[in-house]
Amino acid sequence: MKSDSVKKGIEKAPHRSLFKALGLTDEEISRPLVGVINSANEIIPGHIHLNTVTEAVKSGIRMAGGTPIEFGCIGVCDGIAMNHIGMKYSLASRELIADSVEVMATAHAFDALVAVTACDKITPGMMMALIRMDLPSIVVNGGPMLPGKLGGRSLDLIDVFEAVGQVKTGKMNECELNALEDAACPGCGSCAGMFTANSMACLTEALGMALPGNGTAPAVSAERVRLARRSGIAVMELLKRDIRPSAIINEKSFANALAVDMALGCSTNTVLHVLALAQEAGAKVTMKTIDAVGARVPNLCRLRPGGTHYLFELHEAGGVHAVMNELAKAGALQLDVVTATGKKLSANIKNAKVLDRNVIRPITEPHTPTGGLTVLWGNLAPEGCVVKSSAVAPSMMKRRGRARVFDSEETAYDAILGGKIKPGDVVVIRYEGPKGGPGMREMLSPTSAVVGMGLGEEVSLITDGRFSGGTRGAAFGHVSPEAASGGPIALVREGDTISYDIPAKKISLEVPAAELKKRAAKFKPPAKKIKTGYLGRYADIVQSAHLGAVLKQP
């Protein structure tokens, strides 16, 4: 066992003395030591119940003959961090989480790991670490929040964001807004739609790093606790059989995860995280890989914000494994991959059934023949950009409009709320990329304001930053190269014409090449927005969004 390096032999008597200071007995010390990473805190709704989930995991480990040892990690609530400087730290926190888990797992010689996680950057950050450490591991998510209720209407956080624009246009008063904010988020769990947190929980299950039900069982359910206990038992079986992430995660399992991504219509942020995970695993996954999967896999589900269904409804309809069973009928999955159950995917999905065809369409009757995400290319985004096409109105799938150019989220948001954006405008928000932001802010406030003000089928948004998993409408993010690196988005001027065609996967700045060359010759990189602290260092070493916004390696 790896932990023998800190507990076996007379030379390790001092180490054992420290374990005994924790209250551990000789019997507990002699067993496999399993690190349980608990990301619980009191600021993220998706994490406030994770102590309960973690205790269930630890119970399962003990039942199976291991000794669980809990430690924590940081987490950012994207909703609370939204639309101020705090959001610059959200994506950047992913790298800190991965590094901190590596530090703890290596320094204390754990034999196996369980990641108890929830929410946007915590899940991929922990996954990056599990791949890097390559110890027998399993992921346990905290589960989705239930939707709120008000006057018989189901609600989630996005309703509150969009209501701000409605108040600004007089469609709602502040008293109604207050009632909405009281009701929209009824308790613990990741926000109730197919936003980034739940997208990553579902993809973790699809990758094979979590047990069936991980992505969809509600946070408040006893099923979530039972799943956590079974996960504790399962990690001990993985340890016994020496099944590590390197045996589970590869090009085949990434292809499966991307197929599920397209079928579900997940967050555009999954593109960043899948690319980052693939780099950790040494797997060949690129923007072109994602584009190719999207072209062959149909969209079977329309979940919030691309539809009306919530995560609990996907769970009741059969969950991720039922979706995978449906995809398997069309040969869209690699069924011979190993999973955290210790079995191959074919065995896991064999008995999974679709229980509600309103939520999960048959493979023969999809919403669209292509996936829920679309990668676009063109002279505005030579290295690609991404849109959640399943959340775009049919009337907005192809457009041509006047560029309204802003060099920050704040100036764009003020212009939208100030009524300065008109139907047909294409809002360009730049210098918000990984390097230029720094931190590639997620911009739910501007997109929600556009929808709330009744412009959702009239105005498009384009950015080298990110849009939320809760964003709906023609919002194109991750434009690469970013403005701070001299990408073409830095050359756009107020009044230029921008066109896009989502079905054709094209996005263009309609300016002659000779003119763009002149503009490029005059371009000067802007000064760093933040020069000190973590973000100052991050801006110096972060790579492009088309590479997953990972840090440069030495």
Residues known to be catalytic: 468
Contact status, residue 257 vs residue 277, Cβ threshold 8 Å: no
Give the distance from CA 332 to its chain's centroid: 22
Adjacent-strand bridge partners of 406:
429
Q: What share of the chain is helix, strand, coil (3-state, %, to 5)?
A: 45, 15, 40
Strands 497-501 and 506-509: antiparallel
Tell me the residue ranges of DSSP E strands in 424-552: 425-429, 460-463, 475-477, 497-501, 506-509
Q: Determine the Cα–Cα distance for residues 113 and 118; give it in Å rounded to an integer.
A: 16
Return the ∠ at Cα 275 (arms to 270 and 278), rounded to 5°: 120
Contact status, residue 115 vs residue 135, Cβ threshold 8 Å: no
Q: Look up residue 354 and give its two tokens.
A: 């679709």
| 15 CB neighbour count, 10 Å cutoff | 18
Q: Determine the Cα–Cα distance for residues 363 and 380; give it in Å rounded to an integer.
A: 35
Nearest to 388 by CA among 287, 499, 504, 294: 294
Distances in whole angstroms, Cα of residue 521 to Cα of each of 372, 491, 516 = 38, 10, 9
112-117, strands of its sheet edge to edge:
67-72, 33-38, 112-117, 137-141
| 471 CB neighbour count, 10 Å cutoff | 29
Nearest to 430 by CA among 405, 402, 451: 405
Radius of gyration of the chain (CA): 23
Q: If DSSP codes are grouped into helix, strand and coil, which group holds residue 223?
A: helix
Strands 137-141 and 153-155: unpaired
154 phi/psi in degrees, rounded to 5? -80, 145
